[in-house]
Amino acid sequence: MKVRVAHISDPHFGTVEPDVRAALLQSLKSLAPSAIVVTGDITQRARLRQFRDARRFFRELEPIPVLVVPGNHDIPLFNIFGRLLHPYFGYRRILKGHLKKRLPLEGVEIFGLASTRRYRHVQGEIDLRAMKKFLSKHPDRAPVRIVGLHHPLDCPKRVDEKNILRGADGMMAALSNQQVDLVLGGHIHDPLVSLSSARYPGIEKPLIISVAGTCLSWRTRADAPNSFHLIDILPTGETPQIQIQRLDYIDRVSFESIECHQFVRQPGIGWNRV
């Protein structure tokens, strides 16, 4: 049975283009994913009205389950008191229905991790000990495991090296040890689909990296329009398969597939391109 996951990121509610919003909503409904994962920067400035706008959008997608992780824009920037004492106030209060840390599907399980830190506004990091404990809590592992966080573990341009998750080498090793197959991220508004072996050759069994662009905001990059990734998973058998399509907002009309990546997992070897 195929499992379909839509990976969207960095909507930045507060900077949303209405036409793009309508096109994304239509595209997601027509594609009918089994679940949607939002890898952070839900809002532009962590304001309650921006979280409410996000909640309204997610409710329009019901009954599709939506798993949301926070980004650095989802904690206060200028309100230092709020940032230090209640960094996730709006995120928790408004989006509490979408804060599932684990989303089980048929043959697939998705975990959401928070990589933001109240004392570090842009760069992110993960408590590896807590992550390992969290991922180990579920001994009946699904054939395919996905982890979503905001900060990326790879990037297509050298200018974004500074935005890679702090401690990325240790993080990637830990994900591999926990038999994670696919890691989702965002943050840089520059989409990428890659194998971990390109950046992390020391990892014995490669896994897949999906970095999504901004799905809704006008804060796009010159060569990367609004976009999202559509992930189709065949989790059964000894050689599961994953296909990832990048869909771009084309001609201010609709989201269209512009590239497709095919992967297969070989026993004892890990993931490779088909």
Domains and CATH numbers, the chain: 3-273 (3.60.21.10)
Report the chain (274 residues): mean pLDDT per 10 consecutive residues: 97 97 98 98 95 98 96 80 71 80 95 82 84 84 95 96 96 96 98 98 96 97 93 93 98 96 96 96
For residue 118, the model assigns a pLDDT of: 67
Q: What is the pLDDT of residue 117?
A: 75
**Strand, helix or coil for residue 32:** coil
Instruction: Give the separation between CA 142 and CA 130, rounded to whole angstroms.
Output: 20
Contact partners, residue 43, CB within 8 Å, separation at least 6: 12, 13, 14, 50, 51, 54, 73, 74, 90
The pTM score is 0.95
pLDDT of 87 reads 76
- The confidence score (pLDDT) of residue 122 equals 65
Residue closest to 11 by CA, chosen among 210, 254, 219: 219
- Count CB neighbours of 85 within 10 A: 11
| Contact assessment for residue 51 and residue 256, using Cβ atoms and an 8 Å cutoff | no
